[in-house]
Amino acid sequence: MRIFIVVFCCFLTFACYAQDKNYRPIIGIVAETITNHTIISKYGSSYVAASYVKFAECAGARVVLVKNNEKQDYYVKLFNSLNGLILPGGDVNNLLQSPYGKTAKIFFDLSIEGMDKTGDYFPILGICLGFQLLTQLPIKKDIMRHGSDSENLAIPLKFTPDMDNGNLFNVHTTPYSVLEALTEHNTTFNNHVHSVSQKVCIDFPQNFTKVGLEKFYRVLSVNNDRQGIEFLSTIEAYDYPIYGTQWHPEKNLFEWNTSKDYNIPHSFRATAVAQYVADFLVNEARKSTHRFSSEEEASKYLVYNYQPVYTGDISSFEQIYFLDP
């Protein structure tokens, strides 16, 4: 009888756990507005690089492209229907005041509010420019990003002692092969001209620490640019499922760049690192219970309504989705 009770209780526990999981996660990706007249502007005025879409899809999620300059109701509806958000990299001026920044802020605030009030789980991953935006959203002001000689730079991470308290990377949960690839090989691709510093310097006094961000974010890794200047490379929030990588995991898998001689790593180790981050994000999204009212409603928003354009010969992205062709 005791054995039966133990087995039955274990079965109930597993059943409850299975019900709590969302095995049909949908992740939103915030679009960026093309503000300058560039060669890709002839295709549309806002876009999402296809590599970010594939990055989420390769780990078992579907994707919704999130438009800018929409009414509040649109974003609230999507927040309650999506299971996570990616803030992609790119080139945006006046980051907080840009359409990209304003859209991200709505989701960021709703995620914080939901977690604080009801424990509502909504993960956010910021990559490159998205990483920098995540350092501005908690304090609602543009902290000074300093110049960084970090374009086309593939390097290993330098983990901080606090990494072992993290969720994204942790010696107890992250496979050793991934940690080895991250710390011993050039598996993280950087392509940024601005960075966020943790150190006080006369050239960038409004750094990460001075504005109090160390109370909101745990720093998991730092790196140095070609001039030896240190920048933050991986962060995560202490109390919320919010993560940031200054480096590009999606490029290791999906960007080949025929228009420029980029040194994007495509080794087995590099792709394993990228796949690990994608799997982590989507598994976080599976913890969210948000839903569209039906599959029919979801189908109206999914990325399948758009067709990617090949742009590998004219831009740094192999393919791009244009939201307003």
**Does residue 10 have an active-site annotation?**
no
* Contact between 26 and 122 (Cβ < 8 Å): no
CA-to-CA distance for 62 and 60, rounded, in angstroms? Answer: 7
Q: From the candidates 16, 172, 248, 266, which is the catalytic residue? A: 248
How many other C-beta atoms lie within 10 A of the C-beta of residue 149? 15
Place of tokens 């790196």: 223
CA-to-CA distance for 150 and 153, rounded, in angstroms? Answer: 6
**Does residue 128 have an active-site annotation?**
yes
* Contact between 186 and 154 (Cβ < 8 Å): yes
How many other C-beta atoms lie within 10 A of the C-beta of residue 137? 22
Place of tokens 């000074």: 144
Q: From the candidates 9, 37, 128, 194, which is the catalytic residue? A: 128
- Of the candidates 15, 118, 110, 80, the residue with the CA atom closest to the CA atom of residue 289: 80
* Contact between 138 and 216 (Cβ < 8 Å): yes
Residues annotated as catalytic (active site), given as ranges: 128, 248
